[in-house]
Every structure is written in structure tokens, then in C-alpha cells.
Amino acid sequence: MARQLTPLGRVLLVVCGLALIGYGLYRYGVLDRLAGVLAPDRKQEGTVTREDFGAVAPGTAPSPAAAKGALAGGSRLARPIKVAIVTWGGYAGGIVANNGFAPNRECLFHRDYGIQVELLVIDDFEKSRDAFRVGGDKGGVDIMWSTVDAYALEYGGLRRLDPKAILQYDWSRGGDAIAVDASIRSVADLRGKKMAVAEATPSHYFALYVLTQGGLTNRDVQWVFTSSAVEAANVFKAGQVDAAVSWSPDVYIAARERTGARILASTKEASNLIADIFVARGDFLAEHPEDARRFVAGWLKGVEQANANPDRTATLLARSFSGIGLEDAKGMLADVKLPDYSETRAFFEPQGSLANYHSIFKTAQGIWRRIGKISETYEPYQTVDTRFLEASGEFFPAAGPAKAEFEFKAPPRPAAAAILTKTVSVYFPTGSATLDENAKAVLETQVVELAATFGSAYLRIAGNTDDVGSRETNLRLSRARAEAVTQFLVSKGFERNKFDVVGHGPDKPVASNATEEGRARNRRTDFEVIPR
């Protein structure tokens, strides 16, 4: 008996049919392939390892081919130079030179250098970039703040403005830090943990650096990305993550307010990683080179005065920044190092300081590329213009070569805990404590950079052996080898007292000595970063 289907029955039939077809498509992977075309997933991130940071050994970058011509041509600017800054102690030099933020005639900039400068606090990152794109002639700014790592990320997007780095105004020294909960004692403990960080910022870069030097990769933690460092600190404070990378003062407040939390590492130890720089528009530099030179010179004179009178500088900072009291201002100054003329010159030389603009830019660019944030890369010398710095030399006649910044008086306390331990296999011939060329190359890429970046921290160099041979011999040999490594590093320009030499012999194996593979792993040199 033929029966007419009711409308509901028909709908049900169609739904069942579609479900069957859908299941079939899913079962045989057609849906996945379809999704791959219609809604492809994000491009796979590469793995960032410690090799990415050692790849550019300091001092091996090519010599800059940038035009070193004189600052001829152009005209003098008829308005104040406009500079985008943020609420941060690193601007002390310029604030002293300008005696505040507003353009005026009663300051070092105008009195000694005949220019007027307006410092504009634009705390929102994107807004400061908008102002830079607009330019100083049209209500925006001529010069903006950046960090070398952030500049490496955004350079491609800004390239049409032909931007150039012209001056380093500070090193972050404690301004960026990693807060962790009580369960995390060293970087290795971060494996598998949730870590909040503002994506594609100096915090992110700092986190990648510390993780990889401690033997992890970017894939070993669960990232919780936020849009700003303040959010990262908030997420940590709320107990939603195990660790957070943020900046001062938020990160320190968050670590204080969460029970059991502490600071694992900061740029106090990784003293030569986050460099703050000024980036100027290409058209501004081309049209007003003399103003740019006077700006650089005046700023660095301000740095001399700021470094000489920290109390007066703090008072001026507190008066200038809104919402910043005197104690806050002192804290802000303690979080930065203001390089003087010699130091900033050395910073921009490819063969200059151990951690310099060229090595950081190139390394940072490699990292951002590895995790898919940029696709094109540029040579560091394309992104910088040191003519203004060089032409300011006449104002700093007393400036000699940059001096070593940190003094290491006593060796570190034996009980002091390491922030991280970088394990490197340095090959020595059997029974010998002599470094061959291969071993030197390994140290050059893996350790010189580490020692330079953690400029203010001690490095404990611990030699370890397998259990073949007598313990006494191995103890002596491991110590002699650690000493050889130390001597090599000292020859690279580090102070001897920075290093603590230890020979553990076979006493601290990381693998079983029963197999050849395990013994190979046990023959190693550990580099422990120990805060001062």
C-alpha cells in the first residue's frame, strides 16, 4: 500500500540522508580536506631552540654599508621635533635635556643645541605607530620609541617610511620580568606550564630567550597570549596561569600579590637583551639632518646629567609623568641603564659591544620568522643610521672606548640557585683539557652570547665526566676543562670574576653510565646563570 509521506517525514528523511553523507565525508577525510581549503589553519609555527639565538655570534656581523656621508643638505626645522615615548624611566636623558615634556626655550636642548623638542607620552603601542605613520608635519611624530626586537618585527610593515634607528636610550634592567608560582624553581620547571605573555612584544622575545637557554623550546610551554603586558600580569594575578611575562611595575605587583609567587628571571640578569631605541622617519632625517644630530647630541648630554644627579632626575620624572610619585620614579630609574655616548656608539658597531644592535636585530628577526610573524628579512645595517651619532662626537671629546659595566668582586655564593642551566657538549680529546677549533666554535655560538646577554649575572661553569677512569682523575680533569672554557671566555673580553669554575667529575650524571649514549650525555659542561 503506497502511502504519502507527511512533510515532517520528508524532512526527517532528508536530514537522515544528509547526516549519512556528512558522516561518510568525515569518515574518509573529505571534510578535513575541505576545511583545509575553505578554512585553513594557521601556518604551522616552527620550533625555536637555543640554536636560533647562538646563530649570530657577536662581532661577526658584516661591516655596515650604510652611507657614512656628511650631514650636508636639508633645512633646519621650524617647529619642535616630536617624539613618541611611553611611561618609562628610560627617557630620563631626554626629559632632563628638555626639562619636561613641552617644547621650551629654558632647557639644554634649546640653550646648547638650538632645537626644541616635544615629548609625547603615547602608552598605547598601536597609537604610537599611527602617530609615526602620520609624521611630525601632519600632527604625528618624527621619532618613536621601539626595542630592537620589536623593531625587527615591525620593520617590514614600516619600510615604506624608510625608518632608521638613530639612538639607543636605555637597556631594560629589570623592566621586563617573568613571574612564576611557587612550584617553579628554575626555567626547566616551566615545561608543560601555562605561561601568559603579550604576543609579538619584547616580553614574548624575552620569554623565548630564557626558555631556550634553559633547554626548552617554544613548544614546551602552553602559551596564553594576551594583547598587552598588563593583561598578562592580570591573568597571573588571578591565578589562571603558572607564569607570566610582563613589565615593571605590573609584573612585580602581580608576583607580590599572588601567594607564593616570585620573580624567576628579569632583565636585571639578562641585562643585554632588551634594548630601547629611537627610530626616526626617513623623510625627517633626509630633510632635517642637522636637527637630528642636535637631538642625538642633546639627548646624550641629558643622559650625562641624569646619570650624575639621580635624585634630581627622579624629581623631574615624577613631576613630568602623570600618576607617578617620587618613589615610583626612583623605581623606574632603577629598572633601566642609560648608556652614555661611548656605550651607545659601541652598541651600534657590528664589532662593538658583545651584545650589539646588529646581533640582536638579526637574532630577533630569525625568531619572529621562525614562529611565522614575519616573512621577509632585512640586513641590520639597512635599518639603522649612525651618522647622527658619529657626527655628535665633537660634543663628547672625553669619550673613550666603552668601559666594562659590571664589576664582579666576590665569587657567587655556592648555595645561590641558578635561574637556568644551559648544558653544552664541549668536546675534549681523551685525558686532555685543551680546546680545539671545533670546541671553540661551539663556545662562540652557544656561550659567548649567553654570557654577554646575562651581562650582570655570574656564570658557574661546571665540568662533568662519565665514570670511566678513577674519580680523582676525572674530578681534576673536569675542573681543568672548565678552567679552559673560562680562559677562552676571558679571552673574548669577559671579566675573570664573572665565572665560577667547578669540576664535578662523575658525581652529577644526567644519564646512566651503562650505555655509550648515556656516557656521552654525561660528558658535558653546564653553564649556570646565577643572579648577583
Partner 1 sequence: MEIREAVPHRRARSLALAGVAFFFGLWCLLSYAGLVPDVILPSPTEVVRAFPVLHFEEALVRSAGWSLYRVTMGFLLAAAVAIPLGILMGTFPPIRHFFAPILDPLRFLPISALVPLTIVWFGIEEMQKVMFLFMGTVVYLLPLVVDAVAKVDTVYLQTATTLGASRWQAVRHVLIPGSLPAIGDALRVMNGIGWTYVILAEVINARYGLGALITVAGKRSHVDQIFALVVVILAIGMVTDQVIRLVNQKLFFWKE
CB of 300 to partner 1, least distance (A): 28
Binding partner 1 by CB under 8 A: which of 176, 231, 250, 335?
Answer: 231
Position 34 contacts partner 1 (CB under 8 A):
no
Taking CB under 8 A as the binding criterion, the range among 105-113, 229-237, 380-388, 495-503 that sits at the site for partner 1 is 229-237
Burial-class residue 159 by CB neighbours within 10 Å (0-12, 13-18, 19+): middle
In this chain, which stretch among 8-16, 235-243, 392-400, 520-528 interacts with partner 1, using CB under 8 A? 235-243
Q: Which of 92, 207, 235, 364 binds partner 1 (CB under 8 A)?
A: 235
Stretch near partner 1 under the rule CB under 8 A, chosen from 20-28, 152-160, 181-189, 415-423: 152-160
b/e 343-364 (16+ beta carbons within 10 angstroms → b):
bbbbbbbbebbbbbbbbbbbbb
Q: Supply the minimum distance, in Å, between the C-beta of residue 45 and partner 1.
A: 11
Helix, strand, coil shares of the chain, percent, nearest 5, are: 45, 15, 40
Q: In whole angstroms, what separates CA 188 from the centre of its chain?
A: 19
The correct pick among 183, 227, 309, 473 for binding partner 1 (CB under 8 A) is 227
Q: Cell for 28?
A: 574518509
Burial label for 287, CB within 10 Å (0-12, 13-18, 19+), is middle
In this structure, which long-range contacts are made by residues 508-513, counting pairs with CB atoms below 8 Å and at least 24 apart in sequence?
508/462, 508/464, 509/464, 509/466, 509/467, 510/423, 510/464, 513/466, 513/467, 513/468
β-strand partners of 224: 196
Beta-carbon contacts of 498 under 8 Å, excluding residues fewer than 6 positions away, are 406, 408, 451, 458, 459
Using CB under 8 A, which of the segments 228-236, 347-355, 424-432, 468-476 binds partner 1?
Answer: 228-236
For the bound state, the minimum distance from the C-beta of residue 433 to partner 1, rounded and expressed in Å, comes to 48
Residues binding partner 1: what is the number (CB under 8 A)?
Answer: 39
Question: Cα separation of 426 and 508, whole Å?
Answer: 17
Residue 27 interacts with partner 1 (CB under 8 A): yes or no: no
Out of 1, 8, 39, 65, point to the residue binding partner 1 (CB under 8 A).
Answer: 39
Q: Is residue 373 near partner 1 by the rule CB under 8 A?
A: yes
- Among 29, 114, 372, 393, contact with partner 1 (rule: CB under 8 A): 372
User: Does the footprint of partner 1 cover residue 31 (CB under 8 A)?
Assistant: no
> What whole-number distance in Å separates Cα of residue 33 and Cα of residue 20?
18
Q: Which listed residue (49, 87, 234, 423) binds partner 1 by CB under 8 A? A: 234
User: Per CB under 8 A, does 130 bind partner 1?
Assistant: yes
Residue from 374, 448, 462, 529 touching partner 1 (CB under 8 A): that is: 374
Query: What whole-number distance in Å separates Cα of residue 278 and Cα of residue 388?
Result: 12
Which H or E run contains 50?
Answer: none
As given in the structure block, the three cell numbers for residue 151 are 623593531
Considering only residues 46, 74, 156, 518, which one is a binding residue for partner 1 as defined by CB under 8 A? 156
Write out the E strands in 51-142.
Answer: 81-85, 117-121
- Binding residue for partner 1 (CB under 8 A) from 48, 241, 245, 300? 241
Q: Which is nearer to partner 1, 40 or 69 (CB)?
A: 40
294 backbone dihedrals φ, ψ, rounded to 5°: -65, -35
Residue type, 492: K
The residue among 43 and 403 lying less far from partner 1, judged by its C-beta, is 43
CB 349 within 8 A of CB 102: no
Q: Does 160 bind partner 1 (CB under 8 A)?
A: yes
407 near partner 1, rule: CB under 8 A: no
Please, are residues 269 and 456 in contact by the beta-carbon 8 Å criterion? yes
Q: Per-residue x/- marks for partner 1, 185-214, CB under 8 A?
A: -----------x--xxx-------------
Q: Which is nearer to partner 1, 125 or 347 (CB)?
A: 125
Asked if 154 interacts with partner 1 (CB under 8 A), we say yes
If one asks whether residue 376 binds partner 1 (CB under 8 A), the answer comes out as no
CA angle (347, 350, 352) in 5-degree steps: 50
| 123's grid cell | 602608552
258 binds partner 1 (CB under 8 A): no
32 contacts partner 1 (rule: CB under 8 A): no
To partner 1, the closest distance from the beta carbon of 202 in angstroms equals 11
Q: Is 280 in the site for partner 1 (CB under 8 A)?
A: no
Site for partner 1, rule CB under 8 A:
38-43, 125-126, 129-130, 133-134, 150, 153-154, 156-158, 160-161, 196, 199-201, 224-228, 231, 234-235, 237-238, 240-241, 372-374
